[in-house]
Amino acid sequence: MNIGLDVGSTTAKVVHMEDGEVIFSKVVPSQRWIELIDDEQGEKNIVSTGYFRKKVPHFAAITEITTASLGARYHDPDVQVIVDIGGQDTKVIDLRNNTFVINDKCSAGTGAFLELAAHYFDIPVGSLGELHSQATKGAQINNTCGVFAISEMISQLVGGFSMEEVIYGLHQAFALRIAQMVPPADTVMLIGGTVQNTGIVDAVNNMLDSKIEVPGAPQLVNALGAALYMERLNDSR
């Protein structure tokens, strides 16, 4: 058994692999990571990653840069750039020259920003994509820093834009912020929990000239990469 355990700042994810195939996966809030570990499996088969990787049982702890590369290439061996939009930070990894940039200074361009907006509208974050698709135009939003964006949202709502149009505009502003971090590339893969929001994928797709790829389970890519790394370690033992 090869176990990848990704304990990020917002959620914890586990992927079990056997013979190169994923046989189990699960996501829980980060503080409940213990629910993902079975004592009988022991830590000798676990590779951990994510912000809290060193705080959880592991045989090896590796960065999300390594796990994202392995996990993304599992889905597309030719992918050039990875954009990982997590709960508290966004990472852009250029696989052509092994460089990366990270934005973790404020909530702009992270899941936390969209959670703030969803909280303001009193809707689940999972419904933002559907509401985005119902808008035919977007309200102009320029700020992606939490409180400033909320006051811009309110002013656009007062000015007559609908909730759907404001959400569309927020996604545009978010995508612009992301696009500024992404180098020109043929293929860009979006991963992380936030890209389950189809509005974000749509907005990024409209913003970049690259072919945009979203794997089946984008939130699990780093845990998958960690499980693949464990598989390599086990193969070489």
**What does the binding site for ligand ADP look like in residue numbers (CB under 6 A)?**
8-11, 50, 86-88, 111-112, 115, 125-126, 192-194, 196-197, 219
**Residue 52 or 161 having the CB closest to ligand ADP:** 52
Question: Residue of minimal CB distance from ligand ADP?
Answer: 111
- The minimum distance between CB 40 and ligand ADP, in angstroms, equals 26
**Residue 81 or 128 having the CB closest to ligand ADP:** 128
Beta-strand pair 81-85/90-94: antiparallel
- The minimum distance between CB 184 and ligand ADP, in angstroms, equals 25
Coil, helix or strand at residue 228: helix
Pair of tokens at residue 123: 């809707």
Which amino acid does the sequence have at 208? Answer: L
Task: Check if the beta carbon of residue 140 is closer than 8 Å to that of residue 156.
Answer: yes
- The minimum distance between CB 86 and ligand ADP, in angstroms, equals 3
- The minimum distance between CB 61 and ligand ADP, in angstroms, equals 15
**Residue 115 or 164 having the CB closest to ligand ADP:** 115
Pair of tokens at residue 13: 């994810």
**Residue 9 or 205 having the CB closest to ligand ADP:** 9
CA 209/CA 122 separation, integer angstroms:
34
What beta strand segments (E) does 43-200 contain?
A: 46-49, 60-61, 81-85, 90-94, 99-103, 187-191
